[in-house]
Amino acid sequence: MKANFRCWLDNDEGEQIVGPGLYQLLIEVKKTGSLSQAAREMNMSYRTAWGKIKKIEKRVGAEVIEKTVGGKDGGGSELTSKGYELMNIYRKLKTKLETALNDLDKV
C-alpha cells in the first residue's frame, strides 16, 4: 500500500488560497519570469492562469504577482513579497507532511 496526501491553505473565511495548482503556478512564474509562459508549462490557458491569480489576490487582499517592464522580452511577471510568502508557507507545509509520511513505518 502507498500513503498519499494533498494539502492546502485557507484564509480565515475558509476560502482556499494555496493548493498544489497555485503552488506550481507560483513556482513557474518565479522560474520563467512570465505568467503566459508559466501557464504554458502547466498546459493551462493564459486566461485560466490569470483568473486563478486574480481570485487569490482577492482572497488575500494583496497582489501576488506584478508586471516587470523592459528587458529584451519587453517585460513579464514576477512574484510580489506576498507571492513569495504564500509559496514559501505552502512549501513548508508540504515538506513537513512529506517528512511525516516518510517517517511512517512502511504500511
Over the window 62 to 91, marking each residue x when it contacts its own copies by CB under 8 A and - when it does not, the resulting string is: ---------------------------x--
Smallest gap from Cβ 30 to its own copies, in A, equals: 20
Smallest gap from Cβ 53 to its own copies, in A, equals: 17
Amino acid identity of residue 37, one-letter, is Q
Place of cell 520563467: 32
Cα–Cα distance, 21 to 84 (Å, whole number): 15
DSSP 64: S
Contact 7, 97 (CB under 8 A): yes
Q: Does 61 bind its own copies (CB under 8 A)?
A: no
Over the window 4 to 23, marking each residue x when it contacts its own copies by CB under 8 A and - when it does not, the resulting string is: xxxxxxxxx-x--x------
Q: What's the per-residue H, E or C state across 90-104?
A: HHHHHHHHHHHHHHC
Q: What residues make contact with its own copies under the rule CB under 8 A?
A: 1-12, 14, 17, 89, 92-93, 96-97, 99-101, 103-104, 107
